[in-house]
């Protein structure tokens, strides 16, 4: 049934592979920005795919998850009336491995008003793919001055947490006699010629953001820089998916108190935001003006979250390329870690740890063949994995093997979730999704 659905290649939905005219590129295609080169993430193109191994990204499920999140926020038809919080999806790390340009384009068309990335180069990639929505660059590190310049030129929204960053932005605007522009985006009517920044406050994550005692200096820098406007105040929760939400409530209370510090100085942000997927689904008072879901958009429900129906977006599949029959006592794979205890049928599939299939799944994980689970037999190797298909009757060369996601087959229907793989490999679903390597081409499905 999967084959019956149309599978479109990345380029077919316009991945923006061709750079806009007039942009400068180095030999390897990296864009030249002043003297600095911003590297482009490289991924296997579907057109180059020889192996049957690929990741299928279901864009309808992505849209479904956006609507599920919006519905949970209670603002599906209410947009015209009282506005609920805005959803700014988090598309860092190549949209959690799903391919940021296609994901961003799909969500922008579905009406998502803004998005967040971690890195400057991730923001530039989305602008060059034609995304016009506001893009918040949350990592807060833009390298030397050239990075900040590229940031503003691409109309990306900087997250800042130090006075020097604000002074750097103001200096660039003064130097150019205005905000530098690439021309990729029209200057909006309400553009007041100032750079809107979001100030990140550390309320207990202990990672990035200005601490309470440093906030005054940041606010002072904004107050003395007419080139800069306080657009947003943000923070990030450390324990939003923990059993207890006390730590999250305490962070939120600190965030409120520090917001008042800014307001007392006459600096009122247009928006405040804090909630990741878990917080927005579990703690309504944390929703504020904007929510920043990542994992929920890709179909993984945070633990203890509201009962929202999310659908997995990525499906990783390959095919059986070889079959052999082993006699009892015969062993397979590196280190001979699996030995047949009966006459066994072993299938070889061209998917290995270099594709993101964790080696920890050796003799522990499984794949779906003909709608049934087939245990991984022996060590997962770099490019190949063996499956014990002795109990999968009729298994033959060319059969699909699914390592992540659902499969419908003659023997039944089953699915392997990112949560299950995370459990087996001692990690979290975020790492499972972002581990699918760039060697695996992404195919976009529009059922």
| Known catalytic residue at 303 | no
Q: Which stretch binds ligand PLP (CB under 6 A): 15-23, 220-228, 270-278, 329-337?
A: 270-278
What distance lies between CA 414 and its chain's CA centroid?
A: 25
Q: Which stretch binds ligand PLP (CB under 6 A): 104-112, 142-150, 287-295, 355-363?
A: 287-295
Q: Which of 269, 293, 312, 356 binds ligand PLP (CB under 6 A)?
A: 293
Distance CA 335, CA 331 (A): 9
Q: Tell me if 294 contacts ligand PLP by CB under 6 A.
A: yes
Q: Cβ 276 to ligand PLP, closest distance in Å?
A: 3
Q: Which CB sits closer to ligand PLP, 277 or 366?
A: 277
Q: Cβ 240 to ligand PLP, closest distance in Å?
A: 7
Distances in whole angstroms, Cα of residue 232 to Cα of each of 130, 269, 318: 24, 5, 44
Give me the numbers of helices (H) and strands (E) for the chain, helices first please: 11, 23
Q: Cβ 141 to ligand PLP, closest distance in Å?
A: 13
Q: Cβ 277 to ligand PLP, closest distance in Å?
A: 3
Q: Tell me if 345 contacts ligand PLP by CB under 6 A.
A: no
Distance CA 155, CA 285 (A): 31
Q: Tell me if 295 contacts ligand PLP by CB under 6 A.
A: yes
Q: Tell me if 277 contacts ligand PLP by CB under 6 A.
A: yes
Given the residues 40, 96, 161, 334, the one annotated as active site: 334
Distance CA 34, CA 301 (A): 43
Q: Which of 276, 344, 366, 390 binds ligand PLP (CB under 6 A)?
A: 276
Contact present, 80 and 72 (Cβ < 8 Å): no
Give the sign of the dihedral formed by CA 418, CA 93, CA 117, CA 256. Answer: positive
Nearest to 332 by CA among 367, 389, 379: 379
Q: Tell me if 442 contacts ligand PLP by CB under 6 A.
A: no
Q: Cβ 236 to ligand PLP, closest distance in Å?
A: 4
Q: Tell me if 292 contacts ligand PLP by CB under 6 A.
A: yes
Contact present, 115 and 135 (Cβ < 8 Å): yes
Q: Tell me if 366 contacts ligand PLP by CB under 6 A.
A: no
Q: Which stretch binds ligand PLP (CB under 6 A): 124-132, 180-188, 289-297, 320-328?
A: 289-297
Rounded (10°) CA dihedral 330, 336, 337, 338: -20
For the chain, helix, strand, coil in percent to 5 are: 30, 25, 45
| Known catalytic residue at 334 | yes
* Subset of residues 138 to 197 that bind ligand PLP, contact rule: CB under 6 A: 138
Structure tokens at 430: 């975020």
Contact present, 89 and 293 (Cβ < 8 Å): yes
Q: Which of 105, 236, 272, 287 binds ligand PLP (CB under 6 A)?
A: 236
* CB contact set of 2 (below 8 Å; sequence gap of 6+): 56, 315, 317, 400, 407, 408
Q: Cβ 242 to ligand PLP, closest distance in Å?
A: 12
Given the residues 92, 96, 200, 353, the one annotated as active site: 92
Site string for ligand PLP, 82-101 (x = CB under 6 A): --------x-x---------
Phi-psi region of 329 (alpha: psi -120 to 50; beta: other; left: phi over 0): left
Q: Cβ 56 to ligand PLP, closest distance in Å?
A: 21
Distance CA 430, CA 98 (A): 12
Q: Residues interacting with ligand PLP, by CB under 6 A?
A: 90, 92, 138, 236, 276-278, 292-296
The catalytic residues are 92, 334
């Amino acid at each position: 049934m999967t084959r019956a659905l149309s599978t479109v290649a990345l380029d077919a939905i316009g991945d923006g592979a061709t750079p806009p005219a007039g942009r400068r590129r180095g030999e390897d295609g990296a864009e030249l920005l002043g003297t600095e080169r911003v590297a482009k993430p490289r991924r296997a193109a579907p057109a180059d795919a020889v192996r049957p191994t690929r990741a299928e990204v279901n864009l309808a499920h992505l849209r479904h998850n956006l609507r599920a999140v919006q519905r949970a926020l209670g603002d599906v038809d209410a947009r015209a009336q009282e506005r609920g919080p805005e959803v700014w999806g988090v598309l860092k790390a190549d949209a959690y491995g799903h391919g940021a340009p296609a994901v961003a384009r799909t969500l922008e068309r579905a009406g998502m008003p803004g998005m967040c990335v971690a890195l400057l180069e991730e923001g530039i990639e989305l602008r060059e793919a034609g995304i016009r929505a506001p893009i918040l660059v949350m990592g807060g590190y833009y390298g030397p001055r050239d990075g900040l310049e590229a940031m503003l030129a691409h109309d990306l929204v900087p997250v800042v947490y130090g006075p020097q960053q604000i002074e750097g932005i103001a200096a660039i605007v003064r130097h150019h006699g205005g905000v530098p522009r690439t021309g990729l985006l029209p200057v909006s009517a309400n553009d007041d010629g100032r750079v809107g920044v979001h100030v990140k406050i550390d309320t207990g994550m202990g990672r990035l953001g200005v601490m309470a005692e440093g906030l005054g200096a940041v606010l002072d820098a904004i107050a003395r820089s007419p080139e800069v406007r306080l657009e947003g105040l943000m923070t990030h929760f450390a324990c939003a998916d923990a059993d207890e939400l006390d730590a999250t409530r305490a962070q939120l209370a600190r965030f409120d108190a520090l917001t008042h510090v800014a307001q007392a100085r006459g600096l009122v942000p247009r928006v405040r935001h804090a909630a990741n997927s878990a917080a927005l689904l579990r703690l309504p008072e944390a929703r504020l003006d904007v929510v920043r879901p990542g994992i929920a958009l890709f179909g993984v429900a945070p633990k203890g979250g509201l009962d929202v129906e999310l659908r997995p977006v990525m499906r990783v599949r390959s095919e059986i390329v070889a079959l052999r029959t082993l006699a009892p006592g015969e062993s397979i794979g590196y280190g001979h870690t699996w030995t047949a205890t009966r006459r066994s049928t072993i299938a070889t599939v061209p998917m290995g740890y270099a594709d993101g299939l964790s080696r920890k799944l050796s003799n522990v994980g499984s794949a779906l063949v003909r709608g049934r689970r087939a245990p991984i037999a022996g060590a997962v190797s770099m490019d190949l994995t063996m499956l014990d298909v002795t109990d999968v009757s009729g298994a033959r060369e060319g059969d699909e093997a699914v390592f992540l996601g659902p499969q419908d087959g003659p023997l039944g229907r089953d699915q392997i979730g990112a949560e299950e793989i995370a459990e087996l490999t001692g990690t979290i679903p975020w790492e499972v999704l972002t581990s699918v390597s760039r060697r695996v081409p992404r195919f976009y499905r529009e059922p």
